[in-house]
Structure 1
Amino acid sequence: MIYTARGPIHKSELGVTLGHEHIKWETDEFKANTMYFDKKYQEDSILSDLNYIVPIMLDIKARGGRSVVETSPPIGGQNVKLLKMLSEQVDMHMIPCTGWNMTKQLYDVFPLHFEEQLANRWIKDFKEGLDTIDGIVIRPGHIKLLLDKGQLSNSDKAMLIAAVKASKETGMPIHCHIMEAKMVHEVMEVLDREHANYDKFLWAHADQESNKETVKRAAEKGMWIGIDNVRKGTSPEKFELLKYVMSLNYAHKVLLSQDYDFYSEGKESLESHPCTSIFDEFIPYCYEHGIKKEEITRIMTENPANFYDMDAVESQK
């Protein structure tokens, strides 16, 4: 079962999916926390935002896209009411998330039982829903983490441990932003100590440095690989990494996406926005250089369906 803004769907319904995008990143953390904790939304703002986001979604749909994964955690302003309205207007699936929803300094103030309390919050988000709108309980379809650069901090370690606990309890996969390949090895040490299921863990932004040695190590562990900055003008370098992953016989555990902010791009220009670059540039480039369109379509259909498909939870049956 995959949890979307319109309720749960079977994995066969997901279709071609962009596995890492942002509908609208909210820089005002007070507003973001008000939506997450108080379930209060600015209706006028939502209607205004839709004017910029709906055309982009329709452009994606016109090229065969059927689903989008929202990777803005609650502190990034994930607006589940906006997601639901958008999903209904364009008839596409939107997968919301839970995850990092507080300043990391809270760990330094309240380190005692931090992992358990944070895990319990994310478990509650799933079991009770991020919100209930029009009778639909909107549950998160994944846990989104954002790790800082440099050495893995105590707060980041705690978030990883909490995410593993919550994942084991609910079946939610972990979608983890890691910008530096060297940090992946530290992350693996934490995951190994927690006996984490690597089949539930995605290294988002593996293409930031495209470190083949680390990508190979991640593949050996069974970790999912995110090639998710497939932006305008990047096709050659992204193709090379995908080709390498395919040489490892690991194409079945890759997620492809663009990591655009649809609202910002739409507000900049609805006529020349880059949010369909993966369809307009990358897929044709892959075809020209030896990867069939059918293979990319399979990667964008079957892989996200498998990653975001959650194990049945007894209490939710």
Structure 2
Amino acid sequence: MIFTVRGPIDKKQMGKTLAHEHFNWISDEDFACRMYFDKEYDESYNQEVYDKVLPILSELSASGCQTIVEASPPLGGQNLKLLYDLSKTTNVNIIPCTGMNITKYVHSIFQENFVLQLSKKWIQDFEEGLDVIEDVCIKPGFIKLLFDRGGVSAVDEDMLKAAAIASNATGMPIHCHVLEAKYMTKVMTILEKMEVPPCKFVWAHADKESNHEMILEVAKKGYWIGFDMIREGTYEARKKLIEHAVAHNYSHQVILSQDYDLYEESEQENGIKKYSAFFNEFIPYCIESGIPQEVIEIIIIDNAASFYDI
């Protein structure tokens, strides 16, 4: 079962998927908290964002995109009312998440019961739903974590432990932003100790450093790999990563995306073209370069459906 903002769907309904995007990242934590904790939405703000994002989402739909994974955690401004309205208008599936980027001072103050309390909240999000809109109980489809640079900090480690508990309790997969490949060794050690099945974790931004050796090590242990920064100027490098996955037999563990912000791109003159380029330019480029079309289609259709299936 795949959990979207308009309710659960069967994995066969996923179709072509962008597995890591943002509709509108918000840095204002007070604003974000009102949406997450109080279920309060700013309708005038939502209308402004809706009007700018709708043309991009409509073009994506016309280009073949059927599902988008919203990778903004609640404290990144995940806006369920906006996502619901956009999905209802375009019929594009949108998968929301729980999880958040916890500030270090909060962890320092409440460290004693941090892991259990945080996991309890994320389990509650899944069991009771993030919100109810037009009689639809919106459940998160995954847990999103964002780790700092410079190592797996104490708060990162405890967030991962909390996510492990919540994932084991609910079946939600963990989508984890790790920019430096060398720290994946510690991440995997924590996951193994917490007995998280490797199929429930994706290393987001594995293509940031494109460390082939670490990517292969992670994939061999059964974890998922996110090549999710596919943008103009990166096509050849990302195509080579897919070829590496095919050559080493882990292409069935790869998900693809661009990691753009729809609202931010709506402000750009060529925003619509940039956002739809994944389907209109990158996918044809890979096929023309020799990657079999059936392999590409498995990656952008079947793989995401398998990873986000609860």
Which blocks of at least 5 consecutive residues in structure 2 are unaligned?
none
Hey, what's the Cα distance between the residues in 2 that align with 1:13 and 1:272? Answer: 25
Hey, what's the Cα distance between the residues in 1 that align with 2:129 and 2:272? Answer: 37
Equivalences for 1:5-24 in 2 at 5 Å? 5-24=5-24
Q: Which residue of 2 aligns with 1:314?
A: none
**Per-residue deviation, 1:246:** 1.1
Hey, what's the Cα distance between the residues in 1 that align with 2:102 and 2:134? Answer: 28
**Per-residue deviation, 1:295:** 2.1
Tell me whether 1:267 sits opposite 2:296 in the alignment: no
Q: Which residue of 1 aligns with 2:238?
A: 238
Hey, what's the Cα distance between the residues in 2 that align with 1:142 and 1:271? Answer: 28
Q: Measured at CA, do residues 119 and 292 of structure 1 come closer, stay the same or move farther in structure 2, by a change above 3 Å?
A: same
**Per-residue deviation, 1:281:** 2.1
Equivalences for 1:36-75 in 2 at 5 Å? 36-75=36-75
Amino acid at match of 1:23: F
Amino acid at match of 1:141: G
**Per-residue deviation, 1:265:** 0.2
Q: Output one character per residue of 1:27-71: Cα deviation in whole Å (capped at 9) or x when no partner.
A: 211101110011000011111111111111111111111000000
Q: Secondary structure at the match of 1:8?
A: strand
Q: Which residue of 2 aligns with 1:281?
A: 281
**Per-residue deviation, 1:280:** 2.3
Hey, what's the Cα distance between the residues in 2 that align with 1:99 and 1:170? Answer: 13
Q: Is the 8 A contact 1:265 1:273 kept in 2?
A: no
Hey, what's the Cα distance between the residues in 1 that align with 2:101 and 2:245? Answer: 33
Q: Which residue of 2 aligns with 1:218?
A: 218
**Per-residue deviation, 1:268:** 2.1
Tell me whether 1:227 sits opposite 2:224 in the alignment: no
Q: Which residue of 1 aligns with 2:161?
A: 161
Q: Secondary structure at the match of 1:196?
A: coil
Q: Is the 8 A contact 2:102 2:155 kept in 1?
A: no
Hey, what's the Cα distance between the residues in 1 that align with 2:165 and 2:198? Answer: 13
Q: Which residue of 2 aligns with 1:111?
A: 111
Hey, what's the Cα distance between the residues in 1 that align with 2:202 and 2:294? Answer: 23
Hey, what's the Cα distance between the residues in 1 that align with 2:204 and 2:27? Answer: 21
Q: Is the 8 A contact 1:266 1:273 kept in 2?
A: no
Hey, what's the Cα distance between the residues in 2 that align with 1:137 and 1:236? Answer: 42
Q: Secondary structure at the match of 1:98?
A: coil
Runs of 4+, deviation exceeding 6 Å: none
TM-score by length of 1: 0.96
Hey, what's the Cα distance between the residues in 1 that align with 2:104 and 2:138? Answer: 26
Hey, what's the Cα distance between the residues in 2 that align with 1:270 and 1:133? Answer: 33
Q: Which residue of 2 aligns with 1:315?
A: none
Amino acid at match of 2:30: F
Hey, what's the Cα distance between the residues in 1 that align with 2:294 and 2:155? Answer: 42
**Per-residue deviation, 1:238:** 0.2
Q: Which residue of 1 aligns with 2:3?
A: 3
Q: Output one character per residue of 1:172-219: Cα deviation in whole Å (capped at 9) or x when no partner.
A: 000000000011111011111111111000000000001011001101
Q: Output one character per residue of 1:127-151: Cα deviation in whole Å (capped at 9) or x when no partner.
A: 1111011110000000000001112
**Per-residue deviation, 1:263:** 0.5
TM-score by length of 2: 0.98
Q: Output one character per residue of 1:228-264: Cα deviation in whole Å (capped at 9) or x when no partner.
A: 0011121000011111011111111100000000001
Fraction of identical pairs, as percent: 47
Hey, what's the Cα distance between the residues in 2 that align with 1:293 and 1:54? Answer: 29
Q: Which residue of 2 aligns with 1:304?
A: 304
Which blocks of at least 5 consecutive residues in structure 1 are unaligned?
311-317
Q: Which residue of 1 aligns with 2:180?
A: 180
Hey, what's the Cα distance between the residues in 2 that align with 1:303 and 1:25? Answer: 26
Query: May I ask how many residue pairs the two structures share in their alignment?
Result: 310
Q: Is the 8 A contact 1:105 1:155 kept in 2?
A: no
Amino acid at match of 1:307: F
**Per-residue deviation, 1:104:** 3.0
Tell me whether 1:28 sits opposite 2:28 in the alignment: yes
Hey, what's the Cα distance between the residues in 1 that align with 2:186 and 2:180? Answer: 11
